[in-house]
Amino acid sequence: MDAPQRRLTLAALAILGSVVAAGCTGPSSSNQPPVASFEVPKPVVEVNEPVALNGSLSFDAEGKLILYQWNFGDGSTEVGAVVAHAFSASGTYTITLTVSDDQGAQNAHAENITVNAPPTAFLDVAPGPYFAKEEVAFSAALSRDSDGRIDSYTWQFGDGASASGASVAHAFADTGSFEVVLTVADNHGARSNATASLFVDLHTYDVSFAEDTSEQPPVRNFTLANTTKTVTLEVFPENLTRLSVTLTWRDPLPVMGPPNDVIQMRIISPDGPSQVAVGSFDNITIEFNLNGIPSPVQVRAATPGDVPGVLGDAYIGLKGIGVWVVEITPLELGGGLVEGQGFVPEPFFFWTLTTSLTVYEAAPTQIA
Ligand SMILES: [Ca+2]
Ligand SMILES: [Ca+2]
């Protein structure tokens, strides 16, 4: 090729080049590129939380937008002015919106969004067996948040009770199966649960019944000679096996030799039966047999203190509870010799009434 031909070819290429360059910006060389615009609704979202993205504030100065292309930064894309997207994994993503105008010019805008990793709840419970009214220790200390921290721990014990804190203790009031739910929340409020199922049992007790004696305060009184005196005793304890009343008296004018006054005591129980006894020395005792002692039994209860309630009314003896009437009658008073007066009839005598009660008590022995 000679030199002029080569110049002509170069000029032709230059013209062609300018045509191609003009084609890149569309048919009109005065086209303004569009402006892409959007905002993320919030900087941090949760995994699988739908994020609404609105690119409709994007604009083109003199034409119109014909294409909105979204790249969510997680490998997925979508087309449209308004879209929604949910991220299936935690991390930080760059969302890019590219808009194209009717002349084919493009512009892109990008925003970052952080997808919060939810916390992992871990529930640790002290080894069983578990018993009602006994504290069970729970710990959430092994719970974790991979991209932040755990801000709260809440516990539902499945019996209506709740608590908060990384380590808690709870005593279940009664037997049963309970599902304990731990909820942890991270610093962005994302929550996670862990559960544990517990069976709460009762203890087994062998219950035997044994007697226990107590003495009621004595009734002190005196009566004039030859005058019958009636006193009442109020008795409250349940499970009375025996009630014994002793009348002792003192002769103010003893003759030489043993006391010789003759006294009668009559007792009417609140259940109806009565007894009479006569004494001629210085005391009388009357004893009533009341409730029989129950046979040993085995029960299940949370604590020894709950055993009587579990045993119920069938093991409660009610005989003997109420007002006892004691009638003291001097049948014969000996009198005595008083210096200067000779024999003087008994003017009065002193007496003291003592009540002794025996009750049976349930003695529980935990065997399991
Ligand atoms: Ca334009
Ligand atoms: Ca987190």
| Dist. CA 30 → ligand 1 center (Å) | 8
What are the chain's domains?
34-116 (2.60.40.10), 124-201 (2.60.40.10), 207-366 (2.60.120.380)
Q: How confident is the model at residue 209 (pLDDT cuts 50, 70, 90)?
A: very high
Residue 107 pLDDT greater than 90, yes or no: yes
| Ligand that lies nearest to the alpha carbon of residue 184, given by its number in the listed order | 2
> Phi and psi (nearest 5°) for 164?
-135, 155
Q: How many CA atoms lie within 13 A of 327 on its CB side?
A: 11
Whole-number percent of the chain with pLDDT over 90: 71
Pairing type for strands 262-268 and 297-301 reads unpaired
Nearest to 175 by CA among 158, 155, 154, 194: 158
Residue 321 pLDDT greater than 70, yes or no: yes
Average confidence (pLDDT) over 281-290: 94
| Dist. CA 185 → ligand 2 center (Å) | 8
| Ligand that lies nearest to the alpha carbon of residue 90, given by its number in the listed order | 2
| Dist. CA 115 → ligand 2 center (Å) | 9
| Dist. CA 177 → ligand 1 center (Å) | 70
Average confidence (pLDDT) over 245-259: 76
Give yes or no for a contact between 133 and 302, defined as CB atoms under 8 angstroms apart: yes
Residue 11 pLDDT greater than 60, yes or no: no
Residue 138 pLDDT greater than 80, yes or no: yes
| Ion ligand 1 contact residues with beta carbon within 5 A | 31-32, 60, 63, 101
Higher pLDDT, 351 or 176: 176
**Cβ neighbours of residue 355 closer than 8 Å, sequence gap 6 or more:** 215, 216, 218, 219, 233, 235, 243, 244, 245, 324
How far, in Å, CA of 295 to CA of 310, rounded?
15
pTM here is 0.63
Residue 49 pLDDT greater than 70, yes or no: yes
How far, in Å, CA of 270 to CA of 129, rounded?
49
DSSP-based helix, strand, coil % in the chain, nearest 5: 10, 50, 40
| Dist. CA 118 → ligand 2 center (Å) | 5
pLDDT at 348: 76
pLDDT at 251: 74
| Dist. CA 153 → ligand 2 center (Å) | 14
How far, in Å, CA of 242 to CA of 18, rounded?
127
Q: Mean pLDDT score of the chain, rounded to an integer?
A: 89
> Quick check: helix, strand or coil at residue 7?
helix
pLDDT tens column, 67-98: 999 999 999 999 999 999 999 999 999 999 99
| Dist. CA 241 → ligand 2 center (Å) | 70
Using alpha carbons only, what angle is made at residue 74 by residues 72 and 75, rounded to the nearest 5 degrees? 90
Residue 117 structure tokens? 């990793």
Residue 310 pLDDT greater than 80, yes or no: yes
| Dist. CA 43 → ligand 2 center (Å) | 14
Give yes or no for a contact between 330 and 225, defined as CB atoms under 8 angstroms apart: yes
| Dist. CA 19 → ligand 1 center (Å) | 19
Q: How confident is the model at residue 18 (pLDDT cuts 50, 70, 90)?
A: very low
